[in-house]
Amino acid sequence: MMRNLDRLFQELLDRTLGRSGLPVPRHLALVLDGNRRWARNMGFEDSSVGHAFGRRRVEDVISWCEWVRIPVATLFVASRDNLRKRSPQEIQKLYRIVEEFLGRMLEQKVWEVRVIGCEADLPPAIASRFRELCNATLDSGRKHRLYLAIGYDGQTEILDAANALLASSAQGQPELITEESIEQRLYAGTEYQPELVIRTGSELRMSGFMPWQTTRSEIFFSQVNWPDFTITEFNAALRMYRKRFYLQRLGRRFHDAAGF
């Protein structure tokens, strides 16, 4: 029975997402906006309940990434402003949710995971625990890489990279300031730059998310809050990416012939 259900689920994904050689981004980035708004709309007094439901959606999305063979994903979990301005109780609950999620990723043995952002903004015990769990996922058998942006700010990332470059020069290793020298010092190093960014929650802005890396990214703005993000929305984002892929790389004639 379970094998039949698995087969039916795979057939559904094939029909919905497709696995027929159509292009997919090598790096998908997601801005997970709308958890608190979703909780309020659902009548929960504790808005952080939205983070718990949002975690379930994260697990769904990374499974879809596995299925369509997207090798790298970055999730914007919380900005530096979020950590500073929201209540300590909400942030502590968010840390627990992230810790549980990292434990789940460790068990599944599919994704290498790293937390990126301003580590100094995290409590030392939390930063140490996240680092311990992430390091445990770094083995050669994992085919996908996941970055969790927590305490992240794009301007801070660029400043940190520039300061690291200056420090290297001060230590007797002078180096020109180039795109390559900056990129080598970004939090994820020379990882593929995101080719597709999905933002939920109806806001039409990037909120300081990866400004250096997303200058050439396709951006899909979803009107739903993150816990309501579905496979239909995911498919719509991939279709938009494929449409832009064919328009930019193969020309309008092939795009029209492909029926996009």
The token duo for 260 is 């996009």
- Total H helices, total E strands in the chain: 10, 6
The token duo for 216 is 């050439």
The residue from 35, 82, 121, 153 that is catalytic is 82
The token duo for 254 is 């092939």
State phi, psi for 136 to the nearest 5 degrees.
-70, -20
Q: CA-CA distance, 222 to 244, in Å (whole number)? A: 17
The residue from 4, 6, 14, 33 that is catalytic is 33
State phi, psi for 113 to the nearest 5 degrees.
-125, 140
Per the annotation, the verdict on 82 as an active-site residue is yes
- Helix axes 88-108 and 124-136, enclosed angle (nearest 10): 10
Per the annotation, the verdict on 35 as an active-site residue is no
Q: Strands, DSSP E only, in 96-180?
A: 111-116, 144-152
**Residues recognised as catalytic:** 33, 82
